[in-house]
A and B are shown apart, each in its own frame.
Chain A
């Protein structure tokens, strides 16, 4: 008990090993829950998978039925002195077991279907990455300068922010049909939806970050004669850089969440196409494989960016913690 308390208390300055252990644990715990639900027959398993239909005419081998219905049918058959249906406890088709998903993931990456022009899972994912890249880049090219300006100059902020506050509540996917009409059916409208979804939050968040820059810094610079553009490039931007970097990391995650709606617009492409197509025919092992790839990719990118952040801004201690 004492050791656990010590462990948890050590959070403020965790040794690398402990940190790694916690990190692995945070993944192991959900995995453990998932495995328990999947493999331990008396945990959940609300359905029965029929192994032998017995005398019930509408049952088939492999069919999933509710347990209560299964019991009714067993009682019914016993009463009629007919063969009793048999089955094993099972989960709904919507929750595949970890090994099924792992297998689907492996097959999706290493054994994609051949002899067809239908995109494979890696190809779909690559398409999605490109859409995200352009969407986030365009959003940043507009959003970052706008945010910095809004945060630095009060009057500029007052001119832009009320409208942006308003616009950020409008649901980005609702602009889908308009985006198709203007930008065509390929990646244009998808990128546009990601931009619409990300840009407005981006301006506000970055403006806020800029405002948090210590006023003493700006005042000192002004006293020393720094003006206008130079104030921006020499004081404000270097001052907020580490926080700006972290904001961008969070916003990139934001862009990913818009990907799923963006890719439903225009032609069906990317990882969303893969996921929805597989879901339509109930291949939920493939669906979860697709979802997990997005997770791995997003998390992986963020890890790399976090590490890069520590290299780029060694003086900023907060980069260590995020």
Chain B
């Protein structure tokens, strides 16, 4: 009897030790992704086994967007897909990261949608606009107002959750809302005659989407991340090639649970960036053509709106070394 207990104990202890040492040796890179076309794109590589082919062990975990950033901040995943602006917000609260590559920029998928009868931003003067304060659509609205020669105080902001925007617009209490796809499309279907009056296609580069990884992982697993970057290049070419695009869209649509036909327009509002295109955007310049320029605008916006108090040092966040290393 005593002996059996001992054996069992040894087995359990041995198994625990084995699993611990195994995890220390070959822990896969964990990446959090969520429902945005530029990130769902990774599903193509996952389903086709391209990471294995490239010889890199990664594990993609599907989250709600904000939950993915929470998990990253808590140090539970090595990398997360988010916007450059949100990388700064997450970092200001302690979840520092390195943006090592770009997946895409929003090319129309973020929009200000006005109720029927309103055709331009100028007509919003003195009216109410609903946005989720501090998030990208808020930034998009301010950018649009500036371009239209208006002041932020020319409109009255109403703070609402992005997911509830279709109902907010439908209520008729506001003149316009800010939302991204698929919520924006839902809002327009719910209120026929409403239309986008300003979108991210009017200011490409206002919102970049990046793969942000923990500084420790970026330093320790350079070779692995480099392989991940190369897989991404393959994904972009597979999706953009008219011959393989239907297959890619089928995979992506299955991930989010819609038909490929429904998904295609959402993909079109996202401009995927292969590594060659990404390299140019990684160059330190001002303006929306550069990740630095875009992040600078986001940083100023965040400080001005009290999202965080002190300016973030962009050089801490943007790490182009891997992009440079790819041949």
Contact = CB atoms under 8 A, between A and B. Distances in A.
Interface of A: 58-59, 63-65, 69, 93, 113, 115-118, 176-177, 180-181, 184-185, 264-268, 273, 276-278, 280-283, 286
A282 B255 contact: no
A64 B257 contact: no
A118 B67 contact: no
B217 to A, nearest CB: 16
B160 interface: no
Interface in B53-92: 61-64, 67, 70-71, 73-77
Given A63-B192, A116-B47, A268-B63, A180 B255 contact: no
B193 interface: yes
Given A63-B192, A185-B32, 10 more contacts: A116-B254, A176-B70, A177-B70, A185-B63, A264-B64, A267-B62, A273-B62, A280-B182, A280-B183, A281-B256
B189 interface: yes
6 contacts: A58-B195, A116-B254, A118-B254, A268-B63, A268-B67, A286-B257
B263 to A, nearest CB: 9
A184 B23 CA distance: 15
Contacts of B257: 113, 118, 277-278, 281, 283, 286
B224 interface: no
Nearest to A113: B254
A59 B77 CA distance: 46
B319 interface: no
Interface residues of B, number: 32
B255 A116 contact: yes
Nearest to B192: A65
A173 to B, nearest CB: 12
B262 A281 contact: yes
A181 B64 CA distance: 16
Contacts of B251: 116
Interface string B163-199: 0000000000000000000110010011011010000
B61 A267 contact: yes
Contacts of B255: 116, 118
A180 B77 CA distance: 11
A113 B186 CA distance: 24
B71 A185 contact: yes
A59 B193 CA distance: 8
Contacts of A276: 64
Contacts of B46: 117
Nearest to B75: A181
Contact of A268 (B47, B64, B76, B182): B64
Contacts of A282: 186
B47 A185 contact: no
B92 to A, nearest CB: 16
A58 B62 contact: no
B203 interface: no
B254 A185 contact: no
A288 B292 CA distance: 46
Given A118-B254, A118-B255, A281-B182, A185 B192 contact: no
Contact of A184 (B73, B76, B195): B76
A28 B71 CA distance: 45
Contact of A64 (B182, B189, B195): B189
Given A180-B76, A268-B63, A281-B258, A58 B193 contact: yes
